[in-house]
Structure 1
Amino acid sequence: MMKSLIYILLIGWPINNMLHAEKNEILNDTLATYNYSELEEKFYDFKESNKIDKAKLIAQYYLLKAKSEKNNNHIAEGYVMLHYDQPFKRSLQYIDSLVLFEKYLPKENYPTRIYLLKGRIYYDYDKEKLALNNFITALKYAKEKDNKRHIAIAEIYIAYLNNYIGKHAEAKKVLQYYYDNGDFLSDSEHEHVRLNLASTLLDINKLEPAIKLIHEGLKNTSEKKDIERYNKYLLFLSLYNLKSKQYKLAINNLNKCKTYFLKKSDDLNSSYTLLYLGQAHAQLQEIEKAVEYFIKIDSIVQKTHTTFPELKEVYPYLIEYYKSKNDKEKQLYYIERFLTIYKELDSKFRYISRELPRRYEAPKLLQEKENIISEIEHKRTTSYVIAGILLLGMSILIPLYFLSKKAEKRSRKIAQELIRSVNENKVVLNKDNSRNDDSPGDTTEREDIIGKTSNIIPDYVVENILKELAIFENKENFLKKGITLSNLAKKTKTNSKYLSEIINTHKGKNFAAYLNDLRIDYAIKRLARDKKFRSYKVPFIAEELGYNNEQAFTLAFKKKTGTPLTTYLKEIEKAENSQIKHSISIN
């Protein structure tokens, strides 16, 4: 994972006391011809093309002009311009001074902009904890003001921090979104997103889309126009070469950008360049060369205290190297260096890993919270309303959860009882516990049953229909599709009215329920006993049972048994597996 020092220029604006001795030199006729907007444009043009001295000259003139005109808004902008390319403490002082002018500045931009600028400074100087806190605060204000641009800046930097802790997929999602949809970003800002997206894609080994972005970036950036950005793309190209096992090509490209980054004292990019050089030489079995570059990285880290996650790969390599040389002194030295760096990285990693999910990566809850807050006039009651909603949600969800668990347990128990009844050849009972076996009973019972029938139907007709129904059940004709009361009446040599009344009276249910119960009872038995039948897909089983579709069958099964079909099938498999294990343990 590559932590990038690429900053986004869309947040501009600095503050501090100026050197009045240079006032006359700065206030020359050429600069005096430009208005504030033109001076800002020239400042950022010079800055982008690495003409730092000219950019500073314009920033100093801009601030003196604003002070002389007592223009608070432009005084603030002058301080922002001056904070770039300054040492850490001075840069931070300029931005902290913006607080003095906050009440005069546009409400749609402040205080969000202050937190964004401070976050970027902390990020650039390897202070990820403070960077995260400022970006989270900035995001909160940006959302309150519905400022798309500031929301984008905060989320892009938070994506960089996700990259830092190895959450490359989350970072890629955010960067890809703003690369595709950030039409409100300037060309320069869009280019920065492209750079970081390319880096993230390399981190997750999406080499093809990464090299496409890198080639696009190199095409849009010339070495003369923007040497810094050009060399960053060259660095990413080298990483692509390295991951593609083109080690010599990687070394060739890395040697080009190494000169630039070391000369510019760009510590982080210098370290990454040396890291990739060391890795490339290590792959080519040029061990001494690799060790040389890794030692240089350690010297930069000691001098600048700039750390990055891949340092965890550098020190073990040096430790193993000196172990192979039996150099106990240097082996011990790099073990101590590794423990120190590891502790620092681990502290940052733990903090970012803990705070990012808690404070950022719950967008649905945060959005819900924001919606609630916006609807409530009195801030004092907001926390109680949110707590009430959350407690209410929990009070509903928790009982539902336990009810679902209870229902699931009950369904499993019903399924187990059905399986047991099939295995013991017991009669499967309907939900109302009425018998549903195939035997018509003894003579006395049959006479009692016949006596229940309406006097309109002769007894011999009733007995004949019951015999036909017994044949219908024994031959499993109920499995045929398209059975209706009418066509069954014809087969039993009676009419629909007689058949319907006899089924209602003697079977205790209407024709549809009678037919359905026969099919479900059959399904219960056959699924438990026939493994091949059970292996079929549900639509095929439904068709075999005479149902028109899968849904009709599964709904009928649940209604009849009180347990879902899926639960019944799972319990059958569990029972069979348990029997197999038991038989194996006995043998």
Structure 2
Amino acid sequence: MKQLFRLVLLVPFWLQSQNTSFQIPDSIQHKDFRYLEDRIYQFRNDSARAALYLFSYVKKAKRERNWRELQNGYQSLLHQSPPALRLVYADSMVYAAKKTSDDAAIGAAFLTKGIVFYAQKKYKEALDDYLIANEYIARTNDYYLIYKVKYNMALLKSYSGFYEEAISLLRECVSYYKKKHDGAYLNSLHSLGLSYNKVGNYGLCSQTNAEGIRESEKRAVPEMTSYFKHSEGVNQYFLKNYQQSIDYLKNTVAVLENNDDFANEAVGNFYIGKSYWALKKHETAIPYFTKVDQILNSRQFTRRDLLESYQLLIHYYKAKDNAKLHLYYIDQLFKADRLLHETNLYLVSKVNKEYDNKTHIIEKQKLEHLIDKGKYNDIIFIAIVTLLFMILLFLGYRDFKNKSMYKKKFEALMDKNGEAKKETTKIPHSGIADINPTVAAELIKQLEKWEKDKKFLDQDISLVKLAASFNSNTKYLSLIVYHYRHKKFVTYVNELKIDYLIQALEENKQLRQYNQKALAEEIGFSSIQRFAHAFRARTEMPASYFMAQLRKEETTSGLQTKTAL
């Protein structure tokens, strides 16, 4: 009701603000942005009055073509608006940010848009915007935004099942945000506790939740207390303290529902139901599982662990001989399965392992025969089973083929490096058309010394900086690299880094114990994503596969040595 009321108030203003006929009231016509900003904050709990200042802010920024303030205006509108309008303002915010030509501003706008998508559980769209945001923000020294990207990527990794990677990122965020950013710190701590639960570290999860409750009170952010208690309620289920789990979760579900946090509301209902089920109170558990199903229907939201609701509902109504509801929940299980498949291929593979789809397909066909006589069709069933088999066969073959190709690439790479040939570049007598031969020769000499000194390992290398250090210009240096190294500058630097790393990994066994983040930093990559892309482009195999093969060879070599002794 509160959101609907706000929507009714804001829509007329929004429509007017898009029309040139909208006029800033005379009383605030000549007020500056800070005045308007103060009034927006002052009336933050009064939608009608706040809207007047919000749209005046936007209109003033448009009139003055002040793109930075226009971006701020749309961001304020986004936060004050109901979900139905947030993407509209997010798009306008991105448009204004692009006009600033400022990497931090553009990155922040895409990040905010991604967060809007994430709140709506549109994870594919959120990921696309996070990756765009990262491209811009990685070029800046704005560490708050850098860690904000890490935090939101951690949430997606956790949702996708990559909990260890999520934990690593969240620990960094907790450490960075702890001193100065209360909200971000508590959100990071909450997500970290959830990830500990997912990897089975229930003790550390409880410690994190307890710390979160203390810190929420200490920092005067009481609304976060419910989230830490919710997390602890889930954790208590895994510790088999079922009544404690029920008590924690029942105290938080109403708060989450009031916040329109349907995702955590679904999770809370699921684990209340699971706790009652574990206590053999099956009749009491069923309404909580049906609430999970209602959220799937109304919000198109589910996640991997919530699918067990349907397993238990199917089991319950099968035992009750209720064919209609038995069939309904089988259909709902497949609906949830499809939703997960569209969102994340990793999730659907896990679902296929944990739930025997073949059994449910058979039951589905039998129940349809009982309810609607004559609809049972053996040919359809066989076709579905055959299709599933062919898909699994194809996936298995593709996996085998990729691994075989990677192994050949690995062996070829090891043979090439084993030869340890040192390539030298001779300077041709004839220079590039636009460059004096003497200048070209001097540039190549500087480039070779730069390579020999391994300066390519610096993280902040750019064509502009390197040209300046050579007392040259970017055009000449770019031509020299392309003409004598046969590569564009970025590819040239990336390949030097990767070639150096491969040789270092062969010679230094200790280096093989580093994770990808540490390796990326070791050779001057600003992010794991850039490192992984460069490694694959150079070697035609993932860095994770290369490292695994190195460790495997090391283990094999050690066993052979022991056998020989």
Coarse TM-score class (shorter-chain normalised): 0.5 to 0.7
Matched, 1:281 2:281: no
What is the alpha-carbon distance in structure 2 between the residues aligned to residue 309 and residue 240 of structure 1?
17
Match of 1:245, SS state, is coil
Matched, 1:140 2:244: no
1:182–1:350 Cα change, 3 Å: same
1:42–1:297 Cα change, 3 Å: same
Unaligned residue ranges in structure 2 (runs of 5+): 1-12, 350-456, 468-473, 507-556
Matched, 1:306 2:331: no
1:185–1:257 Cα change, 3 Å: same
Match of 1:384 among 469, 482, 488: 488
What is the alpha-carbon distance in structure 1 between the residues aligned to residue 325 and residue 458 of structure 2?
56
Q: Any idea what the Cα deviations from partners look like across 1:379-431, whole Å, max 9, x if unmatched?
A: 896973454567778899999999xxxxxxxxxxxxxxxxxxxxxxxxxxxxx
1:61–1:324 Cα change, 3 Å: same
Residues 129, 351 of structure 1: 8 Å contact kept: no
Query: Shift of residue 88 of structure 1?
Result: 4.4
Matched, 1:570 2:563: yes
Q: Which has the larger radius of gyration?
A: 1
Q: Any idea what the Cα deviations from partners look like across 1:219-260, whole Å, max 9, x if unmatched?
A: 343699756423222211212322222211221222222222
What is the alpha-carbon distance in structure 2 between the residues aligned to residue 241 and residue 565 of structure 1?
45
1:74-153 matches, cutoff 5 A = 74-84=69-79, 86-102=81-97, 105=100, 107-153=102-148
What is the alpha-carbon distance in structure 2 between the residues aligned to residue 388 and residue 24 of structure 1?
55
Residues 182, 219 of structure 2: 8 Å contact kept: no
Q: Any idea what the Cα deviations from partners look like across 1:496-549, whole Å, max 9, x if unmatched?
A: xxxxxxxxxxxxxxxxxxxxxxxxxxxxxxxxxxxxxxxxxxxxxxxxxxxxxx
Highest RCO, 1 vs 2 (Cα 8 Å, sep ≥ 6): 1
Query: Shift of residue 163 of structure 1?
Result: 0.2
Residues 242, 279 of structure 2: 8 Å contact kept: yes
Aligned amino acid, residue 287 of structure 1:
H
Q: Any idea what the Cα deviations from partners look like across 1:95-147, whole Å, max 9, x if unmatched?
A: 21124433654725221122101111111111111111111111111111232
What is the alpha-carbon distance in structure 1 between the residues aligned to residue 120 and residue 228 of structure 2?
21
What is the alpha-carbon distance in structure 1 between the residues aligned to residue 319 and residue 131 of structure 2?
47
What is the alpha-carbon distance in structure 2 between the residues aligned to residue 385 and residue 179 of structure 1?
37
What is the alpha-carbon distance in structure 2 between the residues aligned to residue 325 and residue 353 of structure 1?
30
What is the alpha-carbon distance in structure 1 between the residues aligned to residue 26 and residue 318 of structure 2?
60
Relative to the length of structure 1, the TM-score reads: 0.55
What is the alpha-carbon distance in structure 2 between the residues aligned to residue 567 and residue 311 of structure 1?
48
Matched, 1:324 2:319: yes
What is the alpha-carbon distance in structure 2 between the residues aligned to residue 353 and residue 141 of structure 1?
32
What is the alpha-carbon distance in structure 2 between the residues aligned to residue 401 and residue 190 of structure 1?
37
Q: Any idea what the Cα deviations from partners look like across 1:135-174, whole Å, max 9, x if unmatched?
A: 1111111111232122111111111111011111111111
Query: Shift of residue 64 of structure 1?
Result: 1.0
Corresponding residue number in structure 1 for 2:168: 173
Aligned amino acid, residue 238 of structure 2:
K
1:26–1:135 Cα change, 3 Å: farther
Match of 1:64 among 47, 56, 66: 56
Query: Shift of residue 94 of structure 1?
Result: 0.7
Unaligned residue ranges in structure 1 (runs of 5+): 1-14, 355-366, 403-563, 573-587
* Seq. identity, %: 20
Aligned amino acid, residue 329 of structure 2:
Y
Corresponding residue number in structure 2 for 1:251: 246
Aligned amino acid, residue 277 of structure 1:
I
Q: Any idea what the Cα deviations from partners look like across 1:424-483, whole Å, max 9, x if unmatched?
A: xxxxxxxxxxxxxxxxxxxxxxxxxxxxxxxxxxxxxxxxxxxxxxxxxxxxxxxxxxxx
Match of 1:221, SS state, is helix
Residues 267, 300 of structure 1: 8 Å contact kept: yes
What is the alpha-carbon distance in structure 2 between the residues aligned to residue 335 and residue 74 of structure 1?
52
Match of 2:488, SS state, is helix
1:410-489 matches, cutoff 5 A = none
What is the alpha-carbon distance in structure 2 between the residues aligned to residue 224 and residue 569 of structure 1?
58
Aligned amino acid, residue 96 of structure 1:
D
Aligned amino acid, residue 67 of structure 1:
K
1:252–1:308 Cα change, 3 Å: same
Aligned amino acid, residue 58 of structure 1:
A
Match of 1:164, SS state, is helix
What is the alpha-carbon distance in structure 2 between the residues aligned to residue 313 and residue 26 of structure 1?
60
Q: Any idea what the Cα deviations from partners look like across 1:163-221, whole Å, max 9, x if unmatched?
A: 01111111111111121133685222222212212222222233333323322332343
Match of 2:304, SS state, is coil
| Greater shift in the superposed pair: 93-102 or 128-137 | 93-102
Residues 207, 240 of structure 1: 8 Å contact kept: yes
Residues 129, 348 of structure 1: 8 Å contact kept: yes
| Greater shift in the superposed pair: 226-235 or 285-294 | 226-235
Query: Between Structure 1 and Structure 2, how many residues are aligned?
Result: 378
Corresponding residue number in structure 2 for 1:210: 205
Match of 1:111, SS state, is helix
1:57–1:286 Cα change, 3 Å: farther
Match of 1:307, SS state, is coil
Aligned amino acid, residue 166 of structure 1:
G
Match of 2:339 among 313, 336, 344: 344
| Greater shift in the superposed pair: 242-251 or 122-131 | 242-251
What is the alpha-carbon distance in structure 2 between the residues aligned to residue 221 and residue 397 of structure 1?
44
Query: Shift of residue 84 of structure 1?
Result: 2.3
Aligned amino acid, residue 102 of structure 1:
A
Residues 168, 204 of structure 1: 8 Å contact kept: yes
Aligned amino acid, residue 563 of structure 2:
K
Match of 2:155 among 157, 160, 164: 160
Match of 1:74, SS state, is helix
Q: Any idea what the Cα deviations from partners look like across 1:5-63, whole Å, max 9, x if unmatched?
A: xxxxxxxxxx95556999999979xx9997356457657xx6xxxx5x55x74364144
Match of 2:563, SS state, is helix
1:565–1:275 Cα change, 3 Å: closer
Aligned amino acid, residue 287 of structure 2:
E
Corresponding residue number in structure 1 for 2:35: 35
1:68–1:172 Cα change, 3 Å: same
What is the alpha-carbon distance in structure 1 between the residues aligned to residue 148 and residue 170 of structure 2?
11
Query: Shift of residue 300 of structure 1?
Result: 1.5
What is the alpha-carbon distance in structure 2 between the residues aligned to residue 246 and residue 121 of structure 1?
36
Aligned amino acid, residue 239 of structure 1:
V
Query: Shift of residue 292 of structure 1?
Result: 1.5
Aligned amino acid, residue 195 of structure 2:
T
Q: Any idea what the Cα deviations from partners look like across 1:334-357, whole Å, max 9, x if unmatched?
A: 111111211221232227999xxx
Match of 1:35, SS state, is helix
What is the alpha-carbon distance in structure 2 between the residues aligned to residue 331 and residue 209 of structure 1?
39
Aligned amino acid, residue 570 of structure 1:
T
Corresponding residue number in structure 2 for 1:479: none
